Homo-oligomer: A and B are copies of this chain.
């Protein structure tokens, strides 16, 4: 009992030091400033993504981590083309609306496309309507995210199928394009991009997102259009290029007692191109680097190896996450656990994880050490997109859960910028992960 108490006291002091250090001398905010304001949006295959790889590698090298390296990975290279994407409701009058191409979408012909619109609320509705009603039209997916969910991620999960699979579903029944209501709970003028995927069985038709205010306007116009004269016009010249070589950026501090047991902390270095990717996921990247920096600057030597991984291409391919896991398996590395921060740099409120049974019990026993810092719960299930492939190798996957209310105000838009990130909220997330990494490195999973 004495030992247990003394260990807990030690853990408690050490965790307090993580928070004190990050809140007084934290460096993640300035790193994010550079990543957002000097480099900007970092879409896979872009020059900005390449610049981000170099900058983050150099940042980790400057901190003196035990090793820093790049892990090559081929990534898709989608380009938006001209930023001038035009869209309007046409009929008696022409009403311009704000759109942006969905990621991975094909472009329209140069003159754009114009057609009658049909508004639907779900993929199922497209199937029910069938070819007779869909053929030759533009399908307008307009099911809003449901505001009653307290965690906004749940609302996102309940609506995003329209964006990811709407185009192929519409194409199956002869549509020539789709317009998708932006994935946000806010009513504003910012269209939200994000990945869509084609089902190769059907024609590839152009897909764009429309701002929520534009969606409301469009829906209202359609409902008033008894004559059926309203059409929708849009034009975008995005396209998929050949794959490009890129990299995961990795830094590590070797464990003193069990160096072969690895704990990953990471985020994804690529972002969408319309904003600066400050919250998604610049925040997760700089927090993950900060975790290792906190260990270094406080002189804490972990028993197990801790590794910061900045994954490339989460947004439109997940190639980095897949590649990392593939090489981990090939190299017979043992990954104990992986933590991902990819839900914005907001005040941390908990973790979610894939652990069950004894491991979950262990995590709950650690919770009192984290509660003074606002980490209120550790829930199942959980993890992160990039670390998902590691779970097949037995790693426990863990996601940092920040407050979710503002995330979809910025997510995948031109306003996901540095000024939307609060320094302390960002720092608290980094220290929360450092605390959990410490406990994992010290005690393992059982």
User: A424 — which chain B residues lie within 8 A by C-beta?
Assistant: 147, 152, 185, 405
23 cross-chain CB contacts under 8 A: A19-B148, A20-B148, A23-B147, A23-B148, A24-B147, A24-B148, A147-B424, A150-B372, A150-B373, A150-B374, A185-B424, A186-B423, A347-B403, A347-B405, A349-B374, A376-B376, A376-B377, A403-B403, A405-B424, A405-B428, A406-B422, A406-B425, A409-B422
A 399-433 to B, binary, CB cutoff 8 A, 1 in contact else 0: 00001011001000000000000111100100000
What's the nearest-Cβ distance from chain B to residue A52, in Å? 26
**List of 6 A-B pairs having minimum Cβ-Cβ separation, nearest first:** A376-B376, A23-B147, A20-B148, A405-B424, A405-B425, A347-B403
13 new A-B contacts, CB < 8 A, other than A20-B148, A147-B424, A185-B424, are A19-B150, A24-B147, A24-B148, A150-B373, A150-B374, A150-B428, A152-B424, A186-B423, A347-B403, A376-B377, A403-B403, A406-B422, A406-B425
B residues in contact with A403, CB < 8 Å = 347, 403
Closest B residue, CB atoms, query A16: B148
Residues of B contacting A406 in the complex (Cβ-Cβ under 8 angstroms) = 422, 425
| B376 and A405 contacting across the interface, CB-CB below 8 Å | no
Number of copies: 2
Of all chain B residues, the one with the shortest Cβ separation from A408 is: B424
Interface residues of A (CB under 8 A from B): 19-20, 23-24, 147-148, 150, 152, 185-186, 347, 349, 372-374, 376-377, 403, 405-406, 409, 422-425, 428
Q: How far is the CA of A88 from the CA of B409 in the complex (A)?
A: 40
Measured in the bound complex, the distance between the Cα atoms of B147 and A428 in whole Å is 11
B residues near A377, Cβ cutoff 8 Å = 376
Instruction: Please report the C-alpha to C-alpha distance between residue A230 and residue B19 in the assembled complex, in whole angstroms.
Output: 38
Q: Which residues of B contact A422 (CB under 8 A)?
A: 405-406, 409
With both chains docked as a complex, state the minimum distance between the C-beta of A352 and any C-beta of chain B, in angstroms. 15
For A376, list chain B residues within 8 Å (CB): 376-377
A372 to chain B, nearest CB (A): 7
Cβ–Cβ < 8 Å partners of A186 in chain B = 423
CA of A347 to CA of B19, assembled, Å: 22
A256 to chain B, nearest CB (A): 28
Q: Which residues of B contact A24 (CB under 8 A)?
A: 147-148
- Tell me the smallest distance from the CB of A212 to a CB of chain B, in Å: 12
B-side contacts of A349, CB under 8 Å: 374
Using CB atoms, name the residue of chain B closest to A148: B20
* Cα A403 to Cα B152 with chains together (Å): 17
Task: Kindly provide the distance from the CB of A79 to the nearest chain B CB, expressed in whole angstroms.
Answer: 33
Q: How far is the CB of A263 from chain B (nearest CB, A)?
A: 25
Within the complex, the shortest CB–CB distance from A240 to chain B, in Å, comes to 36
What residue in chain B is nearest A372 (Cβ atoms)?
B150
Residues of B within 8 A of A19 (CB): 148, 150
A349 to chain B, nearest CB (A): 8
Report Cα–Cα, A422/B424, bound state, in Å. 18
Task: Give the distance in Å from the alpha carbon of A377 to the alpha carbon of B372 in the complex.
Answer: 11
Closest to A431 in B: B150
Query: How far in angstroms is the closest Cβ of chain B from A437?
Result: 19
Q: How far is the CA of A278 from the CA of B428 in the complex (A)?
A: 25
Q: Which residues of B contact A374 (CB under 8 A)?
A: 150, 349
Q: In whole angstroms, what is the CA distance A20 to B374 when docked?
A: 25
Give the distance in Å from the alpha carbon of A373 to the alpha carbon of B376 in the complex: 12
Residues of B within 8 A of A148 (CB): 19-20, 23-24
In Å, the complex CA distance between A20 and B150 comes to: 9
